[in-house]
Chain A
Amino acid sequence: MTTATEPFDVAKVKADFPILQQEVKGRPIVFLDSAASSQKPRAVIDAMSEYYETINANVHRGVYEIAEKATNALEAARLRIGRFIGAPKPETEVLFTKNATEALNLVAQSWGRANLGPGDAVLLTQLEHHANIVPWFQLAAEKGFEVRWIPLTADAQLDLSEIDTLLDGVKLLGLTAMSNVAGTITPIAELTAKAHAAGALVCLDACQYVPHLPTRLDELGVDFAAFSGHKMLGPTGVGVLWGREELLEAMPPWLGGGGMILNVTLDGFLPAALPAKFEAGTPPIAEIIGLAAAVDYLDALGMEAVREHEVSITAYAMRTLTERFGDTLTIHGPAEPAMRGGVLSLALEGVHPHDLSQVLDEHAVCVRPGHHCAKPLMQVLGVGATARASFYVYNDDADVDALADALADAASFFSF
């Protein structure tokens, strides 16, 4: 493990990812959809196989040797992942879920159900992913609280001019750390301070942040943070909810079942202590171990270096695409690469994103068309869909050039 900020060798990194060694349609694959799901290095795949081949057993129950080893591996992973995000008390505050969506639903269904009612408000930003919108709408329909929105500026940054008024009466701010569409990085610490001053908690959707930027939750000051394993080189099937210990202690359990109880009698049950209280049923053990291996891999690269790499490739992409396509190409979101993540939502004049992505597929360039589960944001941007290219540790400038060539092909194919 290193904390150095030295740049890493992208070619070497790429060589660690078996899936990126293949050709698609006779061309080397150019994978630009990591914002949806990242690829997995050999180390993650191996860690999961090794678990299945050597210590596979259910956790927290068996007394035999491999069961104990499996339990130890899972709890070590909890501490490892907690350290990676700057969790003050990882042993109790890091909860494993099946994905980030479930983590956000846990906040709504446990904390929200116990704390929100008529006269209250939940404040969301217009950048949010459906996962940090729909759970609040679902609960609001039942509990009768108001859902309000922080509007955006023309370049998809938060418009905070009315923030003090908007925060009046708010009990929770749902905030994305980085937009999965526009790449906008939000002012988390500043907004959290304002929310706290107004008596509101902050629930951070950190899905696009934890994989790409050094994360210190203790310094950001938020109250809850959710992220998923598969967007940060880990496997699907595991997400994380981090919450401040005193909040989690006071919250009722959400899902009930095995593993989350202290005692069950004919009359009722007593919930277990943290973190078990929120982890009913057999957890995704192999996936949690795989996620810890992903965190090891990212730490070896150094998250400062990861961020620098992404700012650099994003700057190169914005420069290249603007030079080659001028006004016929719109890149949504902030113009300054240092203020955004490596997510470029593109609109090419005269070519619908769905058609654009189809032509790109002929070049083995993998991008994603659609609304990216952020339909309110699409409405604000005034588009039905975008074609999104997103970068990660294994992408290099040659991938950007391949994207630009494929875009040029699409432009000429659909030229009027």
Chain B
Amino acid sequence: MPGLEDLYREIILDHYRNPRNRGELDAPPATRTEGFNPLCGDEIVVYLDLDDAGVVQDIRIGGQGCSISQSSASMMSAAVKGKTVAEVAALTQAFKAMMSIHESSLGEDGEDGGTAADMPVEAPEGVRLGDLEALRGVVKFPVRIKCATLAWNTLAQGIEDAQQA
């Protein structure tokens, strides 16, 4: 049976208590994208400054949520700053792959918390998740996966918004 220490790693609590890149950017020129978790009420706002070359010049995170959604957003913001859109996409894919539910990763009595959005994603090769690895334990708590992926889904929408702006 997974314990709380699998979920709440120290680095997660650190990002929760001291969130990186918390705040706002003027939009425009930045884009402002909201994401919601309709189940628990978590809300996240991603402010994104994408330059003409498709590089993340700056990112800020607003909104409120639990330690998992907030730490995931904080680590994400630190990880994507200075990256190109293609690098962000690869990182997102790698993160989603880690958050995918594989039956083998659940206990024998593991429940099926997966929906279409959480279907197994193939991990791209050569992408390092770094601190984000700390969120690996979340898959053992299927109802919390949506907390961890909220920021990433919102960022993906934000990149679309920025490219259309």
Chain A: CB-nearest residue to B13: A414
For residue B66, CB closer than 8 A to chain A, the reply is yes
The complex places the Cα of A355 from the Cα of B43 at a distance, in Å, of 15
For residue A352, CB closer than 8 A to chain B, the reply is yes
Chain B: CB-nearest residue to A25: B1
Chain B nearest CB, measured from A399 CB (Å): 22
Contact B4 A370 (CB under 8 A): no
Contact A413 B43 (CB under 8 A): no
Contact A384 B65 (CB under 8 A): yes
> From residue 1 to 51 of chain B, which have CB atoms closer than 8 A to chain A?
1, 3-4, 7-8, 13, 17, 39-43
Given A352-B66, A384-B64, A384-B65, does the pair A413, B40 have CB atoms closer than 8 Å? Answer: no
Contact B40 A371 (CB under 8 A): yes
Contact B39 A370 (CB under 8 A): yes
For residue B136, CB closer than 8 A to chain A, the reply is no
Q: Which residues of chain A have C-beta atoms less than 8 A from B64's C-beta?
A: 384
Contact A358 B144 (CB under 8 A): yes
> Chain A: how many interface residues by the 8 Å CB criterion?
18
Counting residue pairs across A and B whose Cβ atoms lie within 8 Å, the total is 47
For residue A64, CB closer than 8 A to chain B, the reply is no
For residue A98, CB closer than 8 A to chain B, the reply is no
By size class, the interface of chain B is 20 to 34
Chain A nearest CB, measured from B3 CB (Å): 8
For residue A354, CB closer than 8 A to chain B, the reply is yes
Q: Which residues of chain B have C-beta atoms less than 8 A from A362's C-beta?
A: 3-4
Chain B nearest CB, measured from A89 CB (Å): 40
For residue B99, CB closer than 8 A to chain A, the reply is no
The complex places the Cα of A352 from the Cα of B7 at a distance, in Å, of 15
Q: Which residues of chain A have C-beta atoms less than 8 A from B13's C-beta?
A: 414
Interface residues of B (CB under 8 A from A): 1, 3-4, 7-8, 13, 17, 39-43, 64-68, 70, 141, 144, 147
Sampled A-B contacts (26; CB under 8 Å) = A352-B65, A352-B66, A352-B67, A352-B70, A353-B66, A354-B42, A354-B68, A354-B147, A355-B8, A355-B66, A355-B67, A358-B7, A358-B141, A358-B144, A362-B3, A369-B40, A370-B40, A371-B41, A384-B41, A384-B42, A384-B43, A384-B65, A413-B4, A413-B8, A414-B67, A416-B17
